[in-house]
Amino acid sequence: MSKTKLVIFLLFIAFQQTYAQTIELLGNVQSTTDVENIHVINKTAQKFTVTNSEGDFRIAATLNDTLVFTSIQHKTLTILVDTEILKNKTLVVTLEEQLNELDQVVVGKILTGNMESDVSNVEGEPMTSNKAGVPSYQGPLKTQSERKLNEATTGGGIVPLNPIINAITGRTKKLKKQIKLEEKDDLMQTIKNELSNDLFTENPLPEENIMEYFYFVSEQPDFLVRCKNKSSIDILNYLIEKLQIFKKNLNTINLHESD
């Protein structure tokens, strides 16, 4: 390895060590509605807190951690901790209110959101890049973390430094873990939106515990195996099974707090 490459490598290591440390992030959530008891979740570090009546919160974080802000009244917001946030040790976010839209009168064919059924309801043939003669990538779009992983594991030259450096520093492993977390979180959010009414109508749970329950479910070792590409009935049975465990844990915690 040449002296120039060695210097670059050592500087990269120093940079990584500088921002690998955990800091206490002081934050504030702003909104046009109530900002108390908003869930602030560090998905990467598996940390959890809630905001106070002023929207303030404290949470441990490191560079590239993923923070999720969620509540019943607001749309979910995801923030990636970058060097600027880490340097300032503060974060101010504005949440958008979750509005329940009224049913609308639909004229013409109805699209349900189910691709298999909607394909037959769409009139005319859609224009595609292939039909237009424009070459393009036809696979699923990559997430931000997947693009970062691709960049971290590819490189040019006789000895590509990028994959070597990222493997040594642990960045590649961290990005793979982040992609797994995002996959679980996306599936959890989809399940929450589609099956909450069916689940909690027959199995009520206090509103303040609902989001905590869904994160509890998504962290179960068998979550992806039991829920990914499964039928709604299978997933609902799984949710009921985990809800019984969650309620038992909740009752145990409440008993200890009352003693």
Instruction: For residues 63 and 15, give the distance between their C-alpha atoms in angstroms, rounded to a whole number.
Output: 11
- Kind and range of the H or E element at 94? strand 90-94
pLDDT above 90 (res 93): yes
pLDDT above 90 (res 43): no
pLDDT above 60 (res 186): yes
Cβ atoms < 10 Å from Cβ of 11: 10
Q: How far is residue 27 CA from its own chain's centroid?
A: 19
Cβ atoms < 10 Å from Cβ of 20: 14
Percentage of the residues of the chain whose pLDDT score is greater than 90: 25
Instruction: For residues 81 and 69, give the distance between their C-alpha atoms in angstroms, rounded to a whole number.
Output: 13
- Sheet with strand 66-71: strands edge to edge: 47-50, 39-42, 66-71, 74-80
- Kind and range of the H or E element at 76? strand 74-80
Owner of token pair 């068998």: 222
Q: Which of 220, 216, 224 is nearest to 184 (CA)?
A: 224
Q: Is 167 strand, coil or helix?
A: helix
Instruction: For residues 51 and 34, give the distance between their C-alpha atoms in angstroms, rounded to a whole number.
Output: 10
What mean pLDDT value characterizes the chain? 75
Cβ atoms < 10 Å from Cβ of 240: 13
**CA dist list (Å): 214 to 35, 94, 95, 243:** 21, 23, 20, 9
Window from 26-35, 48-57, 176-185, 213-222 with minimum mean pLDDT:
176-185
Give ranges for CATH 2.60.40.1120 in the chain.
Answer: 1-99
Tell me the mean pLDDT in the region 155-183: 63
- 185 pLDDT band, cuts 50/70/90, is confident
Q: Which residue has the higher pLDDT, 39 or 19?
A: 39
Which of the four CATH numbers 2.60.40.1120, 1.10.3720.10, 3.40.50.300, 3.40.50.9100 does domain 1-99 have?
Answer: 2.60.40.1120
